[in-house]
Amino acid sequence: MDNEGKLTIKDLMNFSYCERLIYFENVLRIPQATTIKELKGRELHNVFTQKSKRTKIVREFERLPKLYALALESKELNFRTVLDCLILDKAKNEAFPIEYKDAKKPERLYRTFMIQILAESLLVKENMSYSVPFAFIKFEQTDDLVKIPITDYDLEKVRQTIAEINKIVQTEAIPEPTPYVKRCKDCGYRKICRRA
């Protein structure tokens, strides 16, 4: 949650890793100890934010208007995010979110990439009344642009997940631990979680 109590992509990532993270971070308000993995991730992000993303995005979709660093929020879902870029095709009433990753294209798209792009697509569809048939992830280091079909089923799943996270915060009920015990090793709450 951000400092105004809105859920963000980070909460979706946490929930996907282990539902119990939501309880520790958003109900008990215990800041997550930073793991080595996260520190490395932050270093990468810091380097990337210093670079210009725009010129590279413009190259891919020359003729369509674009919105950069677009902040979107759903009051109903208590959720907000900022998109790297949104391409608009006004003639077709379609829009396509693009996420930038300072990484090589992996063999398979990580679950976290998908969560982010689906949440962005949901907010675009609901706030801006465009249909979102596709989204894209641009992998900077290999110059790959991956096209991702977006289905109503996917969007509904993300909507339900956000609703579940809100429910944990509202009911203050501690969720079950992740069934994947290996994940506890990298978890910042492992010392206070009764699972560990």
What is the binding site for ligand SF4 (CB under 6 A)?
18, 20-21, 177-178, 183-184, 187, 189-190, 193, 195-196
C-alpha to C-alpha distance for 115 and 101, rounded to whole angstroms: 14
Compute the least distance from the CB of residue 56 to ligand SF4, in Å: 36
Q: Between residues 135 and 168, which has the closer beta carbon with respect to ligand SF4? A: 168
Nearer to ligand SF4, 90 or 195 (CB): 195
Q: Please, which residue, 17 or 48, has the CB nearer to ligand SF4? A: 17
On the CB side of 43, CA atoms within 13 Å amount to 7
- Tokens 């290996």 — which residue? 182
Q: Which is nearer to ligand SF4, 20 or 101 (CB)?
A: 20
CA distance 127 to 165: 20
CB of 119 to ligand SF4, least distance (A): 21
Minimum distance of ligand SF4 from residue 131's CB (angstroms): 37
The values of phi and psi at residue 102, to 5°, are -85, 70
**Residue from 160, 84, 96, 161 nearest 128 by CA:** 96
Closest CB to ligand SF4 among residues 75, 194: 194
H helices of the chain, where? Answer: 9-17, 20-22, 36-49, 54-60, 111-128, 152-171
Least distance between ligand SF4 and beta carbon 27 (Å) = 12
Q: Which is nearer to ligand SF4, 1 or 187 (CB)?
A: 187
- Residue 12 Cβ vs ligand SF4, minimum distance, rounded to whole Å: 15
CB 64 within 8 A of CB 55: no
Put the strands of the sheet holding 66-74 in their side by side order: 66-74, 79-89, 94-101, 134-139, 144-149
CB of 25: closest distance to ligand SF4 in angstroms? 9
- What is the spatial distance between Cα 109 and Cα 96, in angstroms, rounded to a whole number? 18
